[in-house]
Amino acid sequence: MDENRPGDPATAADTPVDRRTFLAAGAAAVAAVAGCGHVQPRDPSVRWGMIIDLRRCVGCKACTVACKAENHTPPGVAYNVVMEEETGEYPHVARRFLPRPCMQCAVPSCTQVCPTGATWSRPDGIVAVDYDKCIGCRYCIAACPYGARSFDFGDTYSPDLNPHERRPSPEYGEHRSREKGSSPIGNVRKCTFCLHRLAVGLSPSCAETCIGHAIHFGNFADPDGRCTVHGESLRELLATRGHMRLKEELGNEPSVYYLT
């Protein structure tokens, strides 16, 4: 019996070169499956981002309502929510509000775990979801440190669908109708900065609706970039006010800044 025949487990285990080759090949396969390459080359001239003034936010949640109305999202799916916190002790209490859209990270955790490449980064920095590729595994929901993703379970607001629910969603310019057994039901959904509106020169619905003018939106890659809604210089807003990004220490490089 040949104790060193090719393919013998003991021989392979005792050969460092073979083991390294195997591990390198396995790592490459895992990286490909995990979606690490689902980032298109960046367009250096465009980087869409948002600046939210926490002093101006009054917690009215008009941004949340406007987003749902614009994107026709079903129960349990919300792209922009307003988180609330109460501070102080009675009777000296106050409430703080923090709108939370998708952060459109430059280094997104969600794209790195998607096994099909359904979640990907566009050249303009917006993270999108391809409903035709999404298998509903929800790995991206677990990976997102901001809780900015929702799963479409197929729920509706009325059993026979109200007129608003019957209208197709304008998301991604695809105008899909929610029908049982077809996308986006069974898919993960998220804020896209209203890509379909950007395509025709409009601003995200949340920014246009905000009654306190708290939400500013524009092109961070443009040195002279201004808010597409109110006209303020984006760089001046950040240069003249204290600001932060949520969980910046994680290295995701979010594209949403908060003025404090």
Domain over 35-259 is classified CATH 3.30.70.20: yes
5 pLDDT exceeds 90? no
Helix (H, G, I), strand (E, B) or coil at 125: coil
Instruction: Pick the closest to residue 148 from 186, 99, 197 (CA basis).
Output: 99
The domain locations on the chain are 35-259
pLDDT of 217 reads: 98
Running DSSP on this structure, what letter comes out for residue 158?
S
pLDDT of 18 reads: 56
pLDDT tens figures, 81-131: 999 999 999 999 999 999 999 999 999 999 999 999 999 999 999 999 999
26 pLDDT exceeds 70? no
User: With contact defined as beta carbons under 8 Å apart, do 50 and 193 qualify?
Assistant: yes
pLDDT of 41 reads: 84
Report the distance separating Cα 205 and Cα 193, nearest Å. 8
- pTM here is 0.83
**pLDDT grade for 39, boundaries at 50, 70 and 90:** low
pLDDT tens figures, 61-81: 999 999 999 999 999 999 999
For residues 164 and 239, the model is more confident at 239
**pLDDT grade for 160, boundaries at 50, 70 and 90:** confident
User: With contact defined as beta carbons under 8 Å apart, do 216 and 9 qualify?
Assistant: no
Nearest 5°: phi and psi at 246? -65, 135
